[in-house]
Amino acid sequence: MGPLRKVLVLAAESANDTRLVTELRALGYEVTHAGPHGLTPSDADLYRDLVENSYDLICTHDIEGRLLSVNAAAEKALGYPRDTLVGRHLQDLLVPETRHLFDAYLAEILEQGSAHGVMRMCSADGQICDWEYHNSERRLPDGGRIIRGLAHDVTEQLRASRELRASEQRFRALFEQAAVGVAYIDTPTGKLLEVNHKCAQILGYADEDLASLSFEQLLHPPDLPLYEQRMGQLLQGEVPEFVVELRLLGQGGTSVWVALSVSPLLRGGARSSRHMAIMQDISQRKLAEQQREMLEAQLRQAQKMEAIGTLAGGIAHDFNNLLTTMLANLELARLDVEPSHVVTASLDAAEAAARRATDLVRQILMFSRKQPARRAAIALAPVVADSVRLLRASLPAAIAIELHLEDEAPVVLADSTQIHQVVMNLCTNAWQAMRSERGRIDIWLDAVVMPAPRPGAEKPTRFARLRVEDTGEGMDARTLERIFEPFFTTKTAGRGSGLGLSVAHGIVKEHGGTITARSRTGEGSVFEVLIPATDTAAAEVTGESAPSSPLFGYGRVLYIDDEKALAAAVSRMLESLGYSVTVCHSGDDAIARVRENCQSFDVVLTDLSMPGLSGIDVARELMRLRPGLPVILTSGYADRIGQDLAALGICLRLDKPFDRRALSEAVSGVLRHAVRAAG
């Protein structure tokens, strides 16, 4: 170790407004050979040079605050000559609003021996500057006390610090009061570092509760792969940021749709280990989109049904013409043979098939809403059995169907075609639930008595109960809640439109009944339909009583139909009933016949849809030529009329297909009414 040397050090600290030392400035020189009373003359000169040439303000004042000495830097910074500064009270150089702090400054030095802080001083030209000082008390050899200090200008630093704090406050206000959710996320761990109030509000959490979660925990599981894919692209630098719409899990597990924008936080131009997520709640927009899509789907379905209805209505006329011809000829053939003849059985079978075809045409019109429901007291067992027979042909052979129909099932007031549709829809749904194309469907029909909801209630308590059970995959609770919603389906594309159960629900509700479903995943499903029973006796329902005989009569009938085979068959039926018949195949021909002799006919029977003049046109012209001439309008599609028939002189509408008895009742009834009106 070398010899010890004495060094005089003139030092000062630089600190910010939080009193954290940021810089230490020091001037040092050797004083090893100083005399016993201080510095040697050469050392004193060196000391004075250091003080005078310092860029910092260096001064000495007494314990009352009067300046004893200042250096050139102080003289320059304050703008006063040195001789005017020496002897001046330091407090007078402070800005007025801080002068009251000077006494505390002196007390601190006298008590602690030093003081460190910032003084705001006003220069001779009125410029205000902030000076950071570090002053300390010194004892003189004669026992006197002085205060020496060093200060440097920190005006710009403090201004920058204030601006930084203001910027931070503005940012904090923007962060907390933003209309969108903002979250800072640790990139390696995904932990939420900080979230604003809006973010917590969107998700339904308290602000502090989100601090313990990671962002991945908030993602809806089905949307997690999408987020991970886009986040991977961001981390690999493939994209600078990404925007995606996905679902987050709110408090309680509720789903919240958000538009999420994610970007990395930059520090010094480089990516940091954090990224920022901005989210906007778009749940209402998504709900509106779903509702719009549902309405568009309903509109498309309505347009589809309208097109089906138009097609069904178009072909219904032709089908009903053919069926009328078939039924007429079958009845005429029956008149030509004895009841015991061997061909009678074949005629019965053909007539039954024709009547079944009539029901099928009506079902098509019913499905397309082109024909109103026709409710009557019916037994459900034959309807259910018939529906299953039709369905059996369309199901895979591996699907077993078992019927359990009780004879005691009550009679109900219902439309058989609509009940047929309910059974078909429930069974089709049961079959589609068996994705393995193998399973069993059990159909039960019985009676059930339900307790009245309240004393004196008029609601029926006896019901016909239809149950359809399947061995399919079943449903979870969430699916079960929506099973009767229109267009809701869990089936794959092409397996269903989501309308079958909704239509069944609507039909049952229109009949005053209820339909419910029970199911568990993996345990199949049970659908139960309750339809109120009616007091009508079963004998009135079965239709087993013999039909009434045709009504014979006499009179002159003008029959108009462009279908020649149909016209011939109906003409023969009318002649078999005792009427004289003139057949025309166009409206123009019929008008000409009447114009030749207005009194030559007692009643006119005309088809609605014909080339040229329609049945409506014929009726209108006949009313002009011969007011009061009875007109019967026949049609295979009566809903196309849409006019006041009585105002056109039309006494009755006879829908096709009709049989001999219905024809006789129509013609004889109109003629009797005409006779009474004339008498």
Phi, psi of 30 (to 5 degrees): -80, 135
> Tell me, what's the pLDDT at 17?
42
Strand order in the sheet with 242-249: 192-195, 181-186, 270-281, 255-267, 242-249
CB of 323 within 8 A of CB of 657? yes
Within a 10 A sphere around the Cβ of 357, how many other Cβ atoms? 17
**Separation CA 155–CA 152 (nearest Å):** 9
CB within 8 A of 298, min separation 6: which ones?
486, 487
104-108, 366-370, 457-461, 492-496: least confidently modelled range: 492-496
For the purposes of burial, counting CB atoms within 10 Å of the CB of 629, is it exposed (0-12), middle (13-18) or buried (19 or more)?
buried
> Tell me, what's the pLDDT at 531?
92
> Tell me, what's the pLDDT at 16?
43
> Tell me, what's the pLDDT at 7?
47
Q: Is the pLDDT of residue 403 over 60?
A: yes
- Residue range 111-129: mean pLDDT, rounded: 90
**Separation CA 549–CA 137 (nearest Å):** 138
156-165, 260-269, 483-492: least confidently modelled range: 483-492
Confidence of residue 535 (pLDDT cuts 50, 70, 90): confident
Helix (H, G, I), strand (E, B) or coil at 19: coil
Work out whether the CA dihedral 80, 22, 47, 115 comes out positive or negative: positive
CB of 66 within 8 A of CB of 88? yes
**Residue whose C-alpha is closest to residue 12's, from 153, 128, 158, 122:** 153
Q: Is the pLDDT of residue 575 over 90?
A: yes
Return the CATH number of the domain spanning residue range 7-154: 3.30.450.20
- What DSSP line would sit under 399-442, residue for residue? EEEEEEE-TTPPEEEE-HHHHHHHHHHHHHHHHHT-TTS-EEEE
Helix (H, G, I), strand (E, B) or coil at 623: helix
CB within 8 A of 354, min separation 6: which ones?
323, 326, 327, 330, 657
Confidence of residue 536 (pLDDT cuts 50, 70, 90): low
**Separation CA 313–CA 424 (nearest Å):** 22
Q: Report the chain's mean pLDDT, rounded to a whole number.
A: 81
> Tell me, what's the pLDDT at 648?
77
**Separation CA 276–CA 228 (nearest Å):** 15
Where is pLDDT greater, at 99 or 46? 99
> Tell me, what's the pLDDT at 552?
86
Number of residues that this document lists for the chain? 679
Q: Is the pLDDT of residue 200 over 60?
A: yes
Q: Is the pLDDT of residue 31 over 60?
A: no
113-127, 206-220, 619-633: least confidently modelled range: 206-220
**Separation CA 491–CA 348 (nearest Å):** 44
> Tell me, what's the pLDDT at 60?
92
Confidence of residue 643 (pLDDT cuts 50, 70, 90): low
> Tell me, what's the pLDDT at 42?
64
CB of 263 within 8 A of CB of 241? yes
> Tell me, what's the pLDDT at 633?
92
- Residue range 420-442: mean pLDDT, rounded: 83
> Tell me, what's the pLDDT at 462?
85
CB of 502 within 8 A of CB of 484? yes
**Separation CA 351–CA 328 (nearest Å):** 10
> Tell me, what's the pLDDT at 456?
52
Per DSSP bridges, beta strands 439-449 and 399-405 are: parallel
Tens digits of per-residue pLDDT, 174-197? Answer: 777 788 888 889 988 888 888 888
| CATH C-level class of 294-344+549-679 | alpha beta
> Tell me, what's the pLDDT at 243?
93
Confidence of residue 467 (pLDDT cuts 50, 70, 90): very high
Share of the chain above pLDDT 70, in %: 82
Same fold, 7-154 and 178-281: yes
Say if domain 373-540 classifies as CATH 3.20.20.150: no
Tens digits of per-residue pLDDT, 611-628? Answer: 999 989 999 999 899 988
> Tell me, what's the pLDDT at 639?
55
Using only C-alpha atoms, the chain has a radius of gyration, in whole angstroms, of: 52
> Tell me, what's the pLDDT at 158?
87
**Host H or E run for residue 226:** helix 224-235
Within a 10 A sphere around the Cβ of 260, how many other Cβ atoms? 23
For the purposes of burial, counting CB atoms within 10 Å of the CB of 299, is it exposed (0-12), middle (13-18) or buried (19 or more)?
exposed
Q: Is the pLDDT of residue 390 over 90?
A: no
- Residue range 302-325: mean pLDDT, rounded: 77
Say if domain 178-281 classifies as CATH 3.30.450.20: yes
> Tell me, what's the pLDDT at 487?
56
Residue that is written with structure tokens 């932990």 in the block? 191
Domain ranges, ordered by start, for the chain: 7-154, 178-281, 294-344+549-679, 373-540
Q: Is the pLDDT of residue 497 over 60?
A: no
Q: Per the confidence metrics, is the pTM higher than 0.85?
A: no
Share of the chain above pLDDT 90, in %: 23
185-189, 268-272, 656-660: least confidently modelled range: 268-272
- Residue range 227-246: mean pLDDT, rounded: 90
Q: Is the pLDDT of residue 485 over 80?
A: no
> Tell me, what's the pLDDT at 337?
87
Confidence of residue 604 (pLDDT cuts 50, 70, 90): very high
Q: Which residues of 152-182 are buried (b: 16+ CB within 10 A; e: fewer)?
A: bbbbebbeeeeeeeeeeeeeeeeeeeeeebb
Confidence of residue 26 (pLDDT cuts 50, 70, 90): very low
> Tell me, what's the pLDDT at 494?
44
CB of 363 within 8 A of CB of 401? no
Find residue 277's DSSP bridge partners: 183, 262
**Separation CA 461–CA 448 (nearest Å):** 8
**Host H or E run for residue 517:** strand 514-519
- Residue range 643-664: mean pLDDT, rounded: 84
Where is pLDDT greater, at 24 or 595? 595
Confidence of residue 548 (pLDDT cuts 50, 70, 90): low
> Tell me, what's the pLDDT at 605?
95
Tens digits of per-residue pLDDT, 123-169? Answer: 888 898 998 999 999 988 888 899 998 998 888 888 888 888 888 88
- Residue range 313-340: mean pLDDT, rounded: 85
Confidence of residue 429 (pLDDT cuts 50, 70, 90): confident
